[in-house]
Amino acid sequence: MSMSICDVKAAFRQVATEEFKDIPGEDMIEWRFSNQFEKKMSKLIHKEKSFAWKHVNTAKKRLVVAALIIVALCAAACGVSPLRTRVVNFFRRVYETSIYITFMGDKVDSIGHKYTFSYVPEGFAKVCEYSDNARYFVKWKDNNNNVIQLTQSITRETDAYIDNETINQQKIKIDGKIIEVYTFDGFTLAEWTEHRYYFCIYITGKCTMPVLKEIIGSLE
């Protein structure tokens, strides 16, 4: 009995869920300060005594100053929350014949801004465009029926499935972004996350790496 792509995705989703069901949530993970952190905190408190303790006379106020110092150290150690959480990254599970992709981080559940390319090679014209709450799709075509297709998808309740039996894989970097590139039989597929969305570009016909970088770099 043959399986539909929906059945395959459901099977992969079930496998991924089973494999990671025992991983505790962030609020359940126990943690403690390292010795290096405690030493740095002790040195900083000692350093601040010459300034702060001269101007603080009560035990309660001294406790407040110590708490503020600890908060400052924690902020430096952990980073600023808005910058840390508003990021979405790939989670790639590589199997023998396929790659299963899910997303981790501050995921989005609807399409806000619709992104497109400001540059496509000469001869290509937009022929199709579609959008809903979960994805935005736009396609360009030239006179030889070569296609450039961009898909923008939400990262919540979304996964991707790629057959890796016959493809060549490589990573490229564009403006600090890591782009996963797959080439096979005259086709080029590239995928990445940006602005908390998942982007995928599909190109038929010859496409050099410089041209691919220029196209992706023009996303706006």
pLDDT at 192: 84
For 133-145, what is each residue's pLDDT tens digit?
A: 888 989 999 999 9
pLDDT at 15: 62
Q: What is the average per-residue pLDDT within 71-80? A: 49
Q: Which residues contact 39 (CB under 8 A, 6 or more apart)?
A: none
Query: 15: which 2 tokens?
Result: 């496998």
The residue extents of the domains of the chain are 35-79, 88-217
Is the CB of residue 185 less than 8 Å from the CB of residue 206? no
**52 vs 206, higher pLDDT:** 206
pLDDT at 150: 93
> What proportion of the chain, given as a percentage, has pLDDT over 90?
21
Query: 220: which 2 tokens?
Result: 């706006």
Q: Class assignment of domain 88-217? A: alpha beta
pLDDT at 111: 85
The sign of the torsion formed by the CA atoms of 50, 56, 58, 64 equals negative
The answer, yes or no, to whether residue 201 has pLDDT greater than 80, is: yes
Is the CB of residue 137 less than 8 Å from the CB of residue 151? yes
For 30-54, what is each residue's pLDDT tens digit?
A: 666 667 766 666 666 555 554 444 4
Is the CB of residue 125 less than 8 Å from the CB of residue 142? yes
How many Cβ atoms from other residues are within 10 Å of residue 16's Cβ?
15
pLDDT at 135: 85
Query: 88: which 2 tokens?
Result: 């979405």
Is the CB of residue 135 less than 8 Å from the CB of residue 110? no
The answer, yes or no, to whether residue 99 has pLDDT greater than 80, is: no
For 2-18, what is each residue's pLDDT tens digit?
A: 555 566 556 666 666 66
- Ranking 7-16, 54-63, 162-171, 199-208 by mean pLDDT, the lowest is 54-63
76, with CB counted inside 10 A (0-12, 13-18, 19+), is exposed
Confidence of residue 164 (pLDDT cuts 50, 70, 90): low
Q: What is the average per-residue pLDDT within 180-208? A: 86
pLDDT at 218: 94
- Ranking 12-26, 63-77, 111-125 by mean pLDDT, the lowest is 63-77
pLDDT at 79: 46
Q: What is the average per-residue pLDDT within 84-106? A: 55
CA separation for the pair 13, 104 (Å, rounded)? 14
CA separation for the pair 161, 210 (Å, rounded)? 26
